[in-house]
Structure 1
């Protein structure tokens, strides 16, 4: 059977783990696997863009925000992340923004002001559930899900050998996904050496 959605993932994961008897726990295992993937995986399919309205130099990040990829000030000028302590001592109002910091679920830009920022960011993997049985990750790399779920089942069973084997397979699947992502982004890119050349 090909893994194409939530139901087929659960069937295959139960067969791989030899534990069809705990299917009622599978939604928890899928959620745990997704949490681990959200902490480490960064590929093009996770990228989204949003416009954030700032008030007094602060705005609320999207609810699925994981990490900033690019932040643009008005006029399409790239802003760099700055340490919060450094940002705090910058002028409090007026002038063009010079940097940003992420504080909880908010972005803080200084100097303060009202503006709209464009942000490209890595978004959480859309949760896979019975109600939402498909997402980009299961379409592109169902093996990542499969081995992640088998790993969570093995952890629940307290079977270190099985968990280690599943974790190794998951890492290999993630590495393959990462390689495909690099090829997608940089496949025919040219190497350009900056600065003075002889």
Structure 2
């Protein structure tokens, strides 16, 4: 049977873990698995382009924001990420064209202070699987990663160290394969360019 949606993932997770009594706990296991995957996974399918409307130098980041890839001004000029202390020390409360940003809590702070829309390319959270949202790009691309992540969570809940270790190994293999595929699709044909003067 192919894992194609929430229901088939639940069935396979139960079969692979040897538990047919986990349906009522499945949302908890799924939430924990997605939480862990969001912490470490960064691939092309997670990239989102959005707008952040800065008012008085600050604005909330998007609700699915994990990590910024690129931030550009309204004129299309990139601004760089800097440490919060450096942002404060370098620009203070000056107003002007933004040159740097820092993410503080759930907000993006830009200095010099400005009011404008920024275009932000960022890694967004994996859309959670639910009965109402039975599929997402990760399940379509790497159903095995979802499956082994769930089997790991079930084994942790069972307090079965042997099962946890076996599931972690399978999960890491699936994760490694997904990352290698992502790198190949992004950089497989790239050329190495050496910077600096040539003799």
Q: TM-score surpassing 0.5?
A: yes
Matched, 1:185 2:169: no
Distance 1:9 1:112 in 2: 48
Most deviating of 26-35 and 186-195: 186-195
Deviation at residue 47 of structure 1 after TM alignment: 0.4
Deviation at residue 189 of structure 1 after TM alignment: 1.1
- CA RMSD, 1 decimal: 0.9
Any unmatched runs of 5+ in structure 2? none
Q: Equivalences for 1:23-172 in 2 at 5 Å?
A: 23-89=23-89, 90-172=91-173
Distance 1:169 1:76 in 2: 43
Most deviating of 145-154 and 97-106: 97-106
Deviation at residue 110 of structure 1 after TM alignment: 0.3
Deviation at residue 95 of structure 1 after TM alignment: 2.3
Deviation at residue 78 of structure 1 after TM alignment: 1.4
Task: Spell out, residue by residue over 1:7-52, the C-alpha distance to the aligned partner (whole angstroms, 9 max, x if none).
Answer: 1111011000000112211111011000000000000000000111
Match for residue 13 of structure 1? 13
Any unmatched runs of 5+ in structure 1? none
Deviation at residue 75 of structure 1 after TM alignment: 2.2
- Give me the TM-score of the superposition, normalised by structure 1: 0.97
- Give me the TM-score of the superposition, normalised by structure 2: 0.97
Q: Residue 122 of structure 2 aligns to a residue in which SS?
A: strand
Distance 1:94 1:16 in 2: 58
Task: Spell out, residue by residue over 1:98-142, the C-alpha distance to the aligned partner (whole angstroms, 9 max, x if none).
Answer: 100001111000010111111000000000011110000000000
Distance 1:196 1:92 in 2: 39
Distance 2:187 2:37 in 1: 23
Structure 1 stretches of 4+ moved >2 Å = none
Distance 2:120 2:51 in 1: 6
